[in-house]
Structures are given as C-alpha cells and as structure tokens.
Amino acid sequence: MSRSRRVVRAYWLGSVPYLRAWDLQRAAVEAVKAGTQPDSLLLLEHPHVFSIGRRGTGENLLWSEAECARRGVELVWTDRGGDVTYHGPGQLVGYPILDLPRLGSDILRHIRGLEQSLISYLAGVGVASEPGGRGMTGVWSRGAGAESSPLEKVAAIGVKLNQRVTNHGFALNLTSDLSIFNEGIVPCGLAGKRATSLLALGGPELATADAAGAYTPHFCGAFEVEVGWGDAAELWALPPVPAPDPHSLLTLTPSP
C-alpha cells in the first residue's frame, strides 16, 4: 500500500509589499515549527523592489539608492541566500514554508525540487528550460532560439533554512520589466548573464494569479505532496514575529 502524500496549504496573496511579505513569512515559519500551521506555499507578486541576500555586498546594484527611489524601486537587505535580484509586477513569487524533515527532505533536495517544479511548469506552456550549472542556481532557458543562443535566467531561487523550516523561495519572470532587471542590477551577481521572462522567450502572456494556480500541480509533482487551497486571512491572523536587526543584514552600503 502506498503511503498518502502530505498536504501543503497554498495561498494566493495578490500583490504584497516585500517587507510585509517577509513579516508574514517569519510568522508562518514560527507557526509551522510550533505545529499550529500546516506546511504552506505562499504565492504572490511584489511591487518593484531589489532584494539583496546574504551573499550580496551591494556591488552588483548598478543604480544608486537615489536612482532606485526616483524610479520607484524599493531596496531591501534580506536574510535569504544569494545576491541581488529584482521583484515586480508580472513575476510569480513562491515562498514555501516547509518542515523538511517532516517531508523526508533536506535543503539541497528542496532547492532541486524548486528547480524541477519550475522547469516542469515552463514545459507545460511550451518553453524548454534547465537548471543552471555550478554557481548558477535557478532556471535558465534559450527560448526558441538556436542551441547556440545564450542561456538567460527566467527564474531565481534563494532560500533560508530556519533550523528545519524553509522560507523565501523562487521568483519566476512571466511578463516582468526586464529593463529594470538588466539595467538596475547584475542579476544574482552573475556578470555577463541576463534575466529573461516567459513572454520574452516566446511563451504566452499570463496573469500572475492564473500562473499561480497552474503552477501548483508541478509543485505537487516535484515535492510529492498534495496541495489544498487556504484563505489568506488565516496567514494574516498569525502572531507577528519581530524583524531582524537591519544592521545584522547590511554588509556594505551601496555607493551613491
């Protein structure tokens, strides 16, 4: 007899500012640890924001803080892995809050699962993609071009493990503004590499909410779970958790 799959509760949150979503992730992590909240998948999009992870120093931020402010792009130093990336409208963001030992997993399998779920989703809408090589975490594609076309990054992955529970996750570019991505930062700190989007690769133009619903079966397949949809009000009702000291995250202030 095959064992039943664990159920992950998914939530569509719409557009949520980055810092508010980070607050929500911390609350969900503590609730999952305590057993008062099931393993969860937060699906959303953010207003324009550059986030810099633990590996970042600010050197891959090409715009000054003043220029970011002028263009309406927030700048946040965060505790996820990786360097600098961009979030904004037209991008599907997924934050799995998962107790890895309970799922029989570990952090490396978790990252590979995210990659495989995104590759599977993209294949379903007609775009071939692949995981990056060494030092190139995420999902990359040549689109419909020749085999000699350069690989470009269509989805970024950056996670954090809180003892045994994950947060942060992935960002899949659907119809993202690539000018902000490729002019304002060195995406993920990889010089000479460019970001792309599903639309730029010749895929369909999709609303982020529609993509969120279509993505979940691929998440289920990669992680061997079932997904049940929850009411976002459940998450917003979780007890808040204090934010980390911003000085503990700031490695180097970007040049003006």
Active-site annotation, residues: 188
Q: What is the DSSP string of 155-173?
A: EEEEEEEETTEEEEEEEEE
Cβ contact 82:188 at 8 Å: yes
User: Distance between CA 200 and CA 165 in Å, rounded?
Assistant: 34
177-193 residues labelled b (16+ CB within 10 A) or e (exposed): bbebbbebbbbbbbeeb
The b/e string for 230-239 (b: 16+ C-beta within 10 A; e otherwise) is bebeebeebe
Backbone φ and ψ for 13, nearest 5 degrees, come out as: -105, -5
